Amino acid sequence: MEMLAHLADGFALSLSPLNLMVITLGVTIGLFVGAMPGLGSVNGVAILLPLTFLVPPASAIMFLGALYYGAMYGGAISSILLGIPGASTAVATTFDGRPMAQQGKAGLALIAAAVGSFVGGTISVILFTLFAQPLADIALAFGPAEEFALVLLAFTTFVGLGGDDVAKTIVMIAFGLVLSTVGLDLISGQPRLIFFDLPGFYSGISFLVLAIGVYGIGEILWTLETTRGRAQVMTARIGVKDLWTGIKLLRHSLRTMTVGSLLGFFVGLLPAAGATPASLMSYGMAKTFSKKPETFGKGAIDGVVAPETANNAASTGSLMPMLTLGIPGSPTTALLLGGMVMWGLMPGPMLFIEEPDFVWGLISSLYTANAFAVIVNLALIPLFVYALRMPLSILAAMVIVLCIVGGYAPDQRLHDVWLIAAFGIGGYLLRKLHYPLAPLVLALVLGPLMEKAFRQALIAAQGDAMTFIERPLSATFLVVAGLFLLLPLAQAIRHRKTPTEPANGSAGA
């Protein structure tokens, strides 16, 4: 009951006129960002974060949360109408969304995607509401040793479950962590890694600079190369009658939606997984358990519902460890975490005690954002059809301008803008060679916490490294982390024993 009272207080905050406006705007921009091929939630959050200085921190986070949600809905629009996923999270939606559009059922596919997203979002927000406080309560007992072990565990999930090349993943994690140590040593206050003695490095490398570089500039370069030639936009018209038939048809998809929501939520909790693998897994599950698996890939409505439910559920799921433990569950939530730290709202269990208004305001805003997203999505379909015809060059030019100006704004140094350019070019080249970028960004965000926790724990134990093993929770985390590290090794051995087995390592990715 206490939870409902908290939630009611939260709604009082999130339903204020300013916040309602911010959420509507966030959802609409998110839908647009998600729908544009090449831009997903993480790009939208990275590029637009500097613009949120306009509103108070709580509203800024609600805006970004709404944008995150909107982008998950929006990804389906271009998957269905263009046949190109609007974001990686909507890849699985193209499998059946595109065939449906080709059969003239684009409207129905869009309704199915929107309703699926809504159900996925709603179920996962309810799970979030139920589990957030208990998880935060457990996390209250964490000391520096547990914090360190937990961050280490988060990184090892990339090695064990990330699905990318293990050596490249480790390079990226280490690289990100080293970048996070640039600046002043947090214990002794001495400067370290000041490249070329540039004064700009004394205050460290901001997560925002890396994120804008990699997800703004780098993404544009990547999109320039990959989407040459234009795909044909399918038109879709949705009337009230279509909506009604759509909803009636979707009654048969209830089980798919439930499975997709639960799967999405729990996969979303893991830092290395997230919305993209969750949607692919959900698609696979729906196909396996379908009575008519042969219709999948040829325009099965469940094939649209399954991934869309899961990716929305996963985005909510990844918010939970970020808010309660301070460990983000996805690159987008890593940026939200960085933003919150910048605004003095340190995520973690203490946030539930010190800033309950903010925490519950944010949680309640997710309900609002979810409801608005489905309405705005269906109402503005014609506008999105039009927007998808916008030439890439205009979008790219705008994004680059936003990256330059937005990268300058937080600290007002051109030094940061040069770094953004460097990270953009470097990130593009790394991505071309299949180096995963999410662990790099996550490592830069979590690096300071990891080092601080490690050294604080040791100082408290007078330099005795056994402290990490003697504390039961910390020891448990470390053992699980060790298992994740060994997982790729075990897989390699198994593959060597049965060489005829097809490589299906991506299933767990």
Contact between residue 457 and residue 144 where contact means Cβ atoms under 8 Å apart? yes
Torsions phi, psi of 462, nearest 5?
50, 45
Taking CB under 8 A as the binding criterion, the range among 77-85, 178-186, 234-242, 286-294 that sits at the site for other proteins is 178-186
> Per rule CB under 8 A, is residue 168 in the interface with other proteins?
yes
- Interface mask toward other proteins for 211-240; x: CB under 8 A: ------x--xx--xx--x------------
Amino acid sitting at position 261: S
- Cβ nearer to other proteins, comparing 224 with 480: 224
Options 2, 141, 190, 199; binder of other proteins; rule CB under 8 A: 190
> Per rule CB under 8 A, is residue 27 in the interface with other proteins?
no
Contact between residue 144 and residue 186 where contact means Cβ atoms under 8 Å apart? no
Nearest distance in Å: CB 118, other proteins: 33
Q: Which two tokens stand for residue 201?
A: 């490095």
Q: Give the whole-angstrom CA distance, residue 65 versus residue 474.
A: 31
Nearest distance in Å: CB 225, other proteins: 4
Q: Which two tokens stand for residue 261?
A: 């929501």
Alpha carbon separation from 241 to 108, 248, 301 (Å, rounded) = 11, 11, 18
> End-to-end CA distance of the chain, in Å?
38
Alpha carbon separation from 300 to 107, 232, 242, 388 (Å, rounded) = 14, 21, 17, 24
Taking CB under 8 A as the binding criterion, the range among 104-112, 125-133, 165-173, 278-286 that sits at the site for other proteins is 165-173
Amino acid sitting at position 501: E
Nearest distance in Å: CB 493, other proteins: 17
Contact between residue 89 and residue 281 where contact means Cβ atoms under 8 Å apart? no
> Per rule CB under 8 A, is residue 25 in the interface with other proteins?
no
Residues between 381 and 410 that touch other proteins (CB under 8 A)? 391, 393-394, 396-398, 400-401, 404-405, 408-409
- Cβ nearer to other proteins, comparing 100 with 419: 419
CA angle 380, 382, 386 (to 5 degrees): 115
> Per rule CB under 8 A, is residue 495 in the interface with other proteins?
no
Contact between residue 250 and residue 300 where contact means Cβ atoms under 8 Å apart? no
Q: Give the whole-angstrom CA distance, residue 357 versus residue 351.
A: 10
Nearest distance in Å: CB 438, other proteins: 17
Residues between 421 and 480 that touch other proteins (CB under 8 A)? 421, 424-425, 428-430, 432-433, 435, 451, 454-455, 457-459, 462-463, 465
Residues between 86 and 145 that touch other proteins (CB under 8 A)? none
Nearest distance in Å: CB 486, other proteins: 16
Q: Give the whole-angstrom CA distance, residue 61 versus residue 53.
A: 11
> Per rule CB under 8 A, is residue 175 in the interface with other proteins?
yes
Contact between residue 331 and residue 275 where contact means Cβ atoms under 8 Å apart? no
Q: Which two tokens stand for residue 302?
A: 């469940």
- Cβ nearer to other proteins, comparing 51 with 243: 51
Residues that bind other proteins (CB under 8 A): 51, 53-54, 165, 167-168, 170-171, 174-175, 177-178, 181, 185, 187-188, 190, 192-195, 217, 220-221, 224-225, 228, 391, 393-394, 396-398, 400-401, 404-405, 408-409, 412, 414, 417-418, 421, 424-425, 428-430, 432-433, 435, 451, 454-455, 457-459, 462-463, 465
